């Protein structure tokens, strides 16, 4: 699958999250046993990710403007690893970060098996 095709998947995922369709996001894009790792929570499975997304405290973050640029797509057999750069306009200001995602084919569709996101922050004391 090409970089452009994976960019379309990322765009579709963002549209589902922005619209609040978290259950549909998990059903369509989370593989069996998927794990989501982020800077604001412990690792969670797809159900846990949906619960987090529906949490009132996460609402501002999920509605923030995100620009996700797919930097790299590496395929090895039926597994793909994507690396993205994220630029987000949050209520607290602009942040940049990255994601690393492992995709697997499940039921003929590419789904997330593992994903990790992080944001750039200052080193304490600097």
CATH number at residue 41: 3.10.450.50
Tell me how many domains the chain contains: 1
Q: Does 71 fall in a domain?
A: yes
| 35, β-bridge pairs | 114
* Cβ partners under 8 Å of residue 25, min gap 6: 13, 16, 17, 50, 53
Question: Largest alpha-carbon pair distance within the chain?
Answer: 49
Domain residues for the domain of 53 are 3-119
Alpha carbons 119 and 108: distance in angstroms, whole number: 32
* pTM score: 0.86
Q: Is 55 helix (H, G, I), strand (E, B) or coil?
A: coil
User: What is residue 62's predicted lDDT score, i.e. its pLDDT?
Assistant: 67
User: What is residue 37's predicted lDDT score, i.e. its pLDDT?
Assistant: 95
Q: Does 51 fall in a domain?
A: yes
User: What is residue 102's predicted lDDT score, i.e. its pLDDT?
Assistant: 97
Segments in the chain below pLDDT 70: 59-60, 62-63, 126
Alpha carbons 61 and 105: distance in angstroms, whole number: 29
Q: Does 125 fall in a domain?
A: no
């Amino acid at each position: 699958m090409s970089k452009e095709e994976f960019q379309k998947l990322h765009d579709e995922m963002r549209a589902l999250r922005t619209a609040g369709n978290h259950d549909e996001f998990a059903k369509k894009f989370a593989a069996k046993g998927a794990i989501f790792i982020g800077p604001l929570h412990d690792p969670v499975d797809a159900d846990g990710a949906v619960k987090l997304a529906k949490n009132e405290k996460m609402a501002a973050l999920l509605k923030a403007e995100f620009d996700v640029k797919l930097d790299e797509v590496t395929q090895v057999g039926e597994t793909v690893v994507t690396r993205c750069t994220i630029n987000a306009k949050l209520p607290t200001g602009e942040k940049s970060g990255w994601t690393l995602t492992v995709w697997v084919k499940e039921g003929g569709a590419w789904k997330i098996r593992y994903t990790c996101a992080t944001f750039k922050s200052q080193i304490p004391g600097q």
